[in-house]
Amino acid sequence: MIENYLDFFKNIPPEFATMLIAMTPIAESRVAIPIALGVFKLSIVSAVFWSIIGTIIPALFIVLYLKPLAEFLSKHFKIARIFFDWWFKSVVGRFQNKYDKYKRVALILFVAIPLPFTGAWSGSVASFLFGIKPRKAYPLIVIGVLISAFIVTLAYYGIFGAFKLVK
């Protein structure tokens, strides 16, 4: 399956492919950086840069346009209403306790933790659901993305560095 995923990107410059991978929900930088470093053999700076760019672009659009888009689609399509109800309930369930305790810092932490269903996409949704204005939410999300990219890069070199020691 991963080969099929990577085959899609084989004729695309690796920097652009890294950015596209990082733009996808769930993948974001936690997948883009290891692929950029391990498969595309990009430098650390290039891998992290293109991953961050790819992660923050969709976040900007989500922060700015999720509300009108969700309202329009939910009004006109039952499947969209079901999807948005599920997605919003899921994000609130994971984010509520952290937000109650840490307020806006929780948004940074929620985005920074490189686990599935956290990150810039879910953080952008959380900012909308918790009424954090886009002007305040987006910089917090970007800070979280930067921290996440740093963590993923350290983890990549920590894990693969350990394997090199064993050989």
pLDDT in tens, 18-28: 999 999 998 99
Comparison of pLDDT for 15 and 10, the residue scoring more: 15
pLDDT tens figures, 113-145: 998 888 999 999 989 888 899 999 999 999 999
pTM higher than 0.75 for the full model? yes
Separation between Cα atoms, residue 141 and residue 167, nearest integer Å = 39
Q: What distance in Å separates the CA atoms of residue 30 and residue 151, rounded to the nearest whole number?
A: 9
CA distances from 155 to 33, 122, 152, 162 (A): 10, 22, 5, 10
Q: Is 141:59 a contact under the CB 8 Å cutoff?
A: yes
Question: Residue 94: which of 115, 117, 113 has the closest Cα?
Answer: 117
Q: What is the pLDDT of residue 166?
A: 42
Indicate the average pLDDT of the chain.
Answer: 89
- With 50 as the cut, is the pLDDT of residue 164 above it? no
State residue 165's pLDDT score: 40
**CA–centroid distance for 112 within its chain:** 9
CB 24 within 8 A of CB 51: no
